[in-house]
Amino acid sequence: MTSHQNYAPQGTGHPLAAYGWTGEREADFAPFAAAGLVPGRVARVDLGRCDVVVPDPSGAGVHTVRAETAPVLDPDPVNCPCTGDWAAVDPGSRGPVALAALLPRSTALVRNSAGSASDGQALAVNVDAVLIASSLAAKPDLGRIERCLALAWESGAQPVVVLTKADVARDRSHADDVQAAAPGVTVLVVSAVSGEGMDLLRACLPGTTALIGPSGAGKSTLTNALAGAEVMAVGETRERDEKGRHTTTARELIAVPGGVIIDTPGLRSVGLYGGDGLERTFADVEALAAECRYHDCAHDAEPQCAVKAAIEDGLLPARRLVSYNKLLRENERIAARSDARLAAERARQGKHRWKLMKAESGKPRP
């Protein structure tokens, strides 16, 4: 790799502009440019290494380099390199190519890690929109869609729900149920096979889009259609329940006309990671709750409960309140575990400081 002057950002004409490079990114990168580092965007992360898209030394176009991630690893997994990160790359003139630093993130799609730990897992970062895919070939899982919406709102990106496989839809009225579960969110019915709704979808995807959903939802087929090429492997789904195999094994950034897509493996579980995403996901419930007689109304047996009244009048599906309460309790448990972890860390640090103080006090005075 040649010296960094061949990679100097050139504003809108910069080779990484198609990958989301902006004037703000250029300003963030300025100190690293002065140090002779190269800007790049993380396209895929494996154990200890990642693929990074960087400007080509020729000054035209881009190419992908394999870089070490060790220099920027963080004790908090949320802060470790993730697909979508902007990075300062050491070209490796005196060693292997490596990430030297990560630039500040504008958004981060984070879920709670599997198991009882309270650690988070970043699914994609620096995204403008989160595309939540669900197949119309089977009855959509509204609870899962609501969970994904909470993650998307919490990330700071704009959620869009896309109902795929419209060409084999068994009941299109399910789209109305999904819209009721996604107030204020664009819900599109599309088919990557027939092309139905695809132009409208393309118009709704600015910049960088993260694509999430269960296996079998047609995410890879959708990515191929948006890219206009077979860039992702496509697996078969079981006819009886439309569940599919994990054809996407890692989060991967794919260039498409007008921006980039971050395709993700099918999510078996969607654990929330706290935050206020629930407030926007259940904006209808929150608005009704503000009209209840009591500010701490549990929407159960309290008098003059606006939420229960809306359910009785058919204005709010009863399952919405059930789902809201379930996710609210889950968020409270996550917050409690996080607080316990922080308290344990503070206690550990306190014991360490006490040991140091005792050691210092036992030393003979000069």
What architecture is the 4-102 domain classified under in CATH?
Beta Barrel (2.40)
Instruction: Give me the pLDDT at residue 111, please.
Output: 85
How many residues does this entry show for the chain? 366
pTM exceeds 0.95 for this model:
no
User: Facing residues of 237 across strands?
Assistant: 244
Residues of the chain with CATH 2.40.50.140: 4-102
Q: What would you measure as the largest C-alpha separation in the chain, in angstroms?
A: 86
CATH 3.40.50.300, the chain: domain bounds? 108-263
Handedness of CA 190, 126, 54, 8 (dihedral sign): positive
CATH number attached to the domain at 108-263: 3.40.50.300
Task: Report the Cα–Cα distance between both ends of the chain, in Å, rounded.
Answer: 55
CATH architecture, domain defined by 282-358 = Orthogonal Bundle (1.10)
For the chain, residues classed under CATH 1.10.40.50 are: 282-358
- Residue ranges of alpha helices (H) inside the chain are 23-34, 142-155, 174-180, 198-203, 219-227, 277-281, 283-289, 306-312, 318-361
pLDDT of res. 179: 95
Q: At what angle do helices 142-155 and 318-361 cross, to 10 degrees?
A: 50
DSSP string for residues in 291-314 = TSSSTT--SSS-TT-HHHHHHHTT
Query: Which of 147, 175, 141, 150 has the alpha carbon at shortest distance from 243?
Result: 141
Instruction: List per-residue pLDDT tens for the chain, 366 residues long.
Output: 333 333 334 445 789 999 999 999 999 999 999 999 999 999 999 988 999 999 988 877 899 999 999 999 998 889 999 999 999 999 876 778 999 999 999 999 998 765 545 578 899 999 999 999 999 999 999 999 999 999 999 999 999 999 999 999 988 899 999 999 999 999 999 999 999 999 999 998 889 999 999 888 999 899 999 988 776 766 554 444 445 444 556 789 999 998 999 998 866 666 676 667 899 999 999 999 999 999 999 999 899 999 999 999 999 999 999 999 999 888 887 777 655 555 555 566 555 555 555 555 655 555
The answer to whether 274 and 338 are in contact (CB under 8 A) is yes
Q: What is the pLDDT of residue 211?
A: 96
Q: What is the DSSP letter of 266?
A: P
Here the contacts of 350-356 (C-beta below 8 Å, separation 24 or greater) are: none
